[in-house]
Amino acid sequence: MLNKKKRIVVNIILIIACLIIAFPILFAFIKATQTPGQVMSPRILPSGYLFENIKFVWTRYNLWGYMLNSFKISLSIMLGKTFLSFFAAFALVFLDFKAKKPVFIFILITLMMPTEMLIVGLFDIISLPSPTSFKDFFSWFIHPSNIFLSPVKFGFGWTDNLLSVIVPFFASATGVFLFRQHFRNIPTSLIDASIIDGAGSFRFIYYVLLPLSRNTIGALFVVQFIYAWNQYLWPRIIIRNSSAQVIQVGLKAIIGNAEGVEWGQVMAGTIISMIPPLIMLFLFQDQFMKGIAVSDDK
């Protein structure tokens, strides 16, 4: 343990660090409580205008709509991704099949393909209208040169549809890795016992694997929820209708490109937008810390 003198120094450093790091948020919160006149002044004491500011952005600037969209998207991605990666990792660790290595490498490579890099290619695939008849699609699909050597003709037609910001994110290498790593650390004796008991894959998953995976699932929930909640570039491009827009891009809309930014209201919106990911983080904090600790050695 540290001696007393050292401990005081460490405490002081940490307190200062915490204050500096929290300063922008504290500042945003204080400004969110002020009237438009006070916001522009050097005043740094809270005031009683928070509710009015929130009320304004909540209804007038569609903050409520943005929040709801982000909520639907983040929950869907969080659940979908966790579910799919759980089973994919299960197959990779516990099932016996030939193409395991190529499949694993196939998933591994996507680690270096973030969606942001693919926006141009993905845009057409998501936004172009889907074929009106099966015949149209088939006569296009039947020629490999159409698919592989020329830009796509058909897409999913998901513009202004929340699916466009959900479905592409259902699969992820991160999730698969996190589970794979965790599964590989499960003692073989447990699996042996299950097999001796004559348990099949599903019984094993339900009775052994799921209870053992709570931390990993919790960690993934946090990581994926926050990842999905904080998405910006892709929704900015693919969603044009503010009724389907997410909160992060909504913040830009609230600031507005034209006249008269009411910074007090903007700050109120900003503070509100941070609440759901913070709740997620602190709700699952323990699992999160334990879950990523396992994963950190790759």
Partner 1 sequence: MKRISIMLIIMSFAAVLFASGQNEKVQNNEKNIEPVEIQFWHAFTDDARSGWINDLAIEWNSTHPNFKIVAESKGSYRETLQAAILGSRQGVAPHLVQVFEVGSQLALDSGIFTPIGDVGNVDLSDYIEPVLNYYTFNNSVYSIPFNSSSPILYTNKNMMIKAGLDPNSPPETFEEILNACETAKAAGIPEAGLGFNIHGWFFEQWLAEQGEPIVNNGNGRNGRATETMLTSKASITTLNFIKELNDNGFYKSTGKLEDWGGSDAIFQEGKVMFHITSTADLGNISNAIDSRFDMGTGRLPIPGTSKRNGVVIGGASVWLTSGHPKTEQEAARDFILFMTNTKNMNSWHKLTGYYPVRKSSVEELEKEGWFKAAPTRTIAFTQLLETVSNQATAGGVMGTFGDTRTIVEQAIQKVLNGADVKDSLTEAKKLADLKLEEYNKNFK
Partner 2 sequence: MEHRSRFKARGLEVVFLLPTMLILILFLYYPAWQSIILSLFRSNLFLGTRKFIGFENFRNLFSGALAPAYYQSLLQTLIFSVMVIVPGLLISLVLANLSISLGKRGKIYQILLIWPYALSPAVAGTIFSFLFNPEVGAVNTLLGAFSNLQPRWLDNPILAFLLVVTACIWKNLGYNYVFYLAALQNVPRNVYEAADIDGAGVVRSFFKITVPLVGPVTYFLIFTNLSYSFFEAFALIDLLTLGGPMGFLPFDNTGVTTLLIYKIFQDGFGGSSNMGFASAQSVLLMGIIGLITWFQFKFADKNVHYGGE
Question: Site residues (CB under 8 A) for partner 1?
Answer: 40, 60, 68, 71-72, 75, 127-129, 157, 159-160, 218, 221, 240-242, 253, 256-261, 283-284, 287
Cβ(288)–Cβ(219) below 8 Å: yes
Residue 174, both tokens: 């991160």
Q: To the nearest whole angstrom, how small is the minimum distance from the Cβ of residue 67 to partner 2?
A: 13
Q: How many CB atoms lie within 10 A of CB 179?
A: 25
Q: Does 92 bind partner 2 (CB under 8 A)?
A: yes
Q: Does 141 bind partner 2 (CB under 8 A)?
A: no
Stretches 9-17, 58-66, 129-137, 209-217: which one binds partner 2 (CB under 8 A)? Answer: 9-17
Q: To the nearest whole angstrom, how small is the minimum distance from the Cβ of residue 159 to partner 1?
A: 4
Q: Which does 292 bind (CB under 5 to 8 A by kind): partner 1, partner 2, none?
A: partner 2
- Nearby residues of 228 by Cβ (< 8 Å), 6 or more positions away: 70, 73, 74, 77, 78, 169
Q: How many CB atoms lie within 10 A of CB 227?
A: 17
Q: Which does 136 bind (CB under 5 to 8 A by kind): partner 1, partner 2, none?
A: none
CA distance 287 to 228: 19
Among 122, 217, 244, 268, binds partner 2 (CB under 8 A): 122
Contact positions with partner 2 (CB under 8 A) in 146-205: 148-152, 167-168, 170-171, 176, 183-184, 188, 191-192, 194-195, 200-201, 204
Question: How many chain residues interact with partner 2 (CB under 8 A)?
Answer: 104
Q: To the nearest whole angstrom, how small is the minimum distance from the Cβ of residue 19 to partner 1?
A: 28
Q: Does 102 bind partner 2 (CB under 8 A)?
A: no
Q: Which does 283 bind (CB under 5 to 8 A by kind): partner 1, partner 2, none?
A: partner 1
Q: Helix, strand, or coil here: 33? A: coil
CA distance 18 to 124: 45
Buried-exposed string 240-264: b where 16+ CB fall within 10 A, e elsewhere: eeeebbbbbbbbebbeeeeeeebbb
CA distance 158 to 293: 38
